[in-house]
Amino acid sequence: MGIVIEPLRSADDVDEILAVEHASFTSPWTREMYLAELRNPEVSFFFLARSGDTVVGFCSFWRVLDELHINNLAVIPGRRREGIGAALLERVLREGTERGADRATLEVRRSNADARRLYERFGFVVAGVRRGYYTNPPEDALVLWREELAHG
């Protein structure tokens, strides 16, 4: 079955986002955190990857002035390496450009080699380190940036 990338349209999808989040991260966001994000539609945005009626991935981001900050990008473990993360990232970067962002940033676990490779394919480069950023287990985050979103 094909994958459809679409904007989050309703808080009804939060439970499916949480299922993806819990399957993907050791320190997942809470339901309350997601609902708070949804109450700020001028800044906070979500895209879902659906296979039929099932959410198999999502990406959340903020657009603040000329910057896009990717908060979360996750795909359920059984559907990884199918291009779903790349499709989400491509759609989010396009949306950011359409909303006036010139550059994008995100944090990624230093040990998350698969995610780092994905981001590098999309032109992100390491710009710094946030020591002790992650907990459970403790780990540094690499801060990645991509400049000139409209050119690539």
CA distance 62 to 6: 16
By the 8 A CB rule, do 103 and 148 touch? yes
Is 119 an annotated catalytic residue?
A: yes
| Integer angstrom CA distances of residue 63 from 66, 67, 101, 147 | 7, 6, 7, 14
Amino acid at the residue 41 = P
- State how far Cα 79 lies from the chain centre: 16
d(CA 70, CA 128): 16
Marked catalytic residue, from 119, 133, 147, 148:
119
Q: Of the residues 16, 21, 37, 107, which is catalytic?
A: 107
Which residues have C-beta within 8 Å of that of residue 138, sequence separation ≥ 6? 132
Any bridge partners for residue 45, and if so which? 61
Residue 107 annotated among the catalytic residues of the structure:
yes
| Tokens, residue 48 | 């879902």
Query: What are the residue numbers of the active site?
Result: 107, 119
